[in-house]
Amino acid sequence: MIVNHSSHEFSEKSSRAVVALGNYDGVHLGHQKLIRTARDEADRLGGILVIYTFDPHPVRVLAPKSCPPQLQTLELRLETLKFYGADLVIVEPFTHELAQMTPEEFFTKIIVERMGAKSIVVGYDFTFGLHRQGTVKTLEHLCKNRGIGLVVVEPQFLDDTLISSTNIRKFVAAGDVGAAAKLLGRPYLIRGTIISGRGIGGKLHAHTANIETKNEIIPQNGVYITRTNIWENKEADPPNFASYDSITSIGDNPTFPEAGFSIETHLIAANVDVLEMTADILFIKHMRAQLAFDSTKLLAKQIQKDIDAARRYHLLHKDC
């Protein structure tokens, strides 16, 4: 997959580009539907699928205090878009200058002149241009005048729940990682670097990897059944990682209040040196809330019960 870090870099105007516009935070099932639709359109036209997105999120530039936390870092978003089939992604730097473009200017200068779009695919609620004045109706008018195709993807639901980044954020923040996974089509993931901890896990006979992450949304404090992927060589093609059954604790560790907030993952049935390596933690199931114990002995006993329960869960769901 090719990544352009500005529409100025785009050099595929003769390739009958089908441009799918959106923020793609999370690349959830609704986004995946949009990508599949754009892929079908690109195949029909004999062109390439181009994902057009922004970084940072427009609201972060225009109203920082109102910007929702993002489900993915840009790195994770690009990896996920590649997985779901993008040929080329344009990451447009969102600036105050870009925000001042009228919908007509944005369409003409970027969509037509810079990208030479043959067809456009957007979600039902897509807006663009100064003060978000441009709507799907605006696009219909502009595309018709230029002879450019337009496909609008209707809202997607899972049962009665709208598939949206907003709903996924709510589920993750509440610790309902199972519900979030259903809307994402995969477990929610945070990526981070494994750093030195305070050694508390070792004293409790459960060595843990402490994660320092740039993810903006962390599941609610608690204990989770997880899978942890340790990257051995992210530069390889394809990249190499080792995957481990795991259990993860998030929070302030009320039994040791001086420890502060931490994300700690215990690799079940594995004893490997992972310090300073990159780890992806995939959240599968919420087990319990964090609890304060009267003694380290009671805490150690509970930790072993948690690990045993997580081990049984992993064994039962190996083929799922």
Full-model pTM: 0.92
- CB count in 10 Å sphere of residue 296: 14
Structure tokens of 25? 């935070």
In the chain, the N- to C-terminal Cα span, in Å, equals 29
Q: How far apart are CA 119 and CA 47, in angstroms?
A: 10
Question: Is a pLDDT exceeding 80 seen at residue 202?
Answer: no
Domains of the chain, earliest start first: 2-158 (3.40.50.620), 188-316 (2.40.30.30)
Q: How far is CA 174 from the centre of its chain?
A: 17
Mean pLDDT to the nearest integer, 85-111: 96
Mean pLDDT of the chain: 92
- Provide mean pLDDT across the span 280-298: 91
Average of per-residue pLDDT across 163-178: 98
Name the DSSP letter for residue 154. P
Q: Which of 25, 21, 13 is nearest to 184 (CA)?
A: 25
